[in-house]
Amino acid sequence: MHNIFLILLLIAISNSFDTARELFLKSTINSVAAPHPANIRNVFRFIIKLLQKPKVYLSFLCSICSLFVYLFVLSKVDLNFAFSLDSMHYIFIAVTAKIFLKEKVGLKRWVGTGFVVLGIILVTLS
């Protein structure tokens, strides 16, 4: 087994890329009017508009970076360990969505996020 802290750090990096991707995507989608009514033609126009925003390409880049770091982690540890810890992005996204997107995070969601934290600690200790 490789150094567990290094693996944790790498999973955290992979999840940070995931989080950045979600934030880029959400802030881009927020900046474009939602397709209304949601028929195929309007959705297609919506996607074309999104593809004109540079942030969308940043989010693609983040996806690729995240995938490669994750694959590297998978080459070193068991799948069940890596996949369980991959839920770290639930914590990151809850915190960053509140800070950067000014979203409201309710009590239920914080309780849920707390359970995810607890689960990650237990999986790491096992």
Partner 1 sequence: MFKKKLTVKILLFLILTDILETFIQFCFKKSAVSATGLTVTSLGDTFVFAKTVISSPFLWVGICSVLVIFVIWSTILSKIDLSVAVPVASFSYILVPLTSIIFLHEKISGLRWLGIFCILIGIIFASLSSKEKIHQETDA
Cα 126 to Cα 43, 72, 103: the distances in Å are 46, 21, 34
Residue placing its CB nearer to partner 1 in the complex, 30 or 112: 112
**Does residue 94 bind partner 1 (CB under 8 A)?**
yes
Contact between 24 and 57 under an 8 Å Cβ cutoff? The reply is no
Interface residue with partner 1 among 44, 60, 100, 115 (CB under 8 A) is 115
111 binds partner 1 (CB under 8 A): yes
Q: Does 80 bind partner 1 (CB under 8 A)?
A: yes
- Which residues make up the interface to partner 1 (CB under 8 A)? 38, 68, 70-76, 78-81, 83-84, 87, 90, 94, 106-109, 111-126
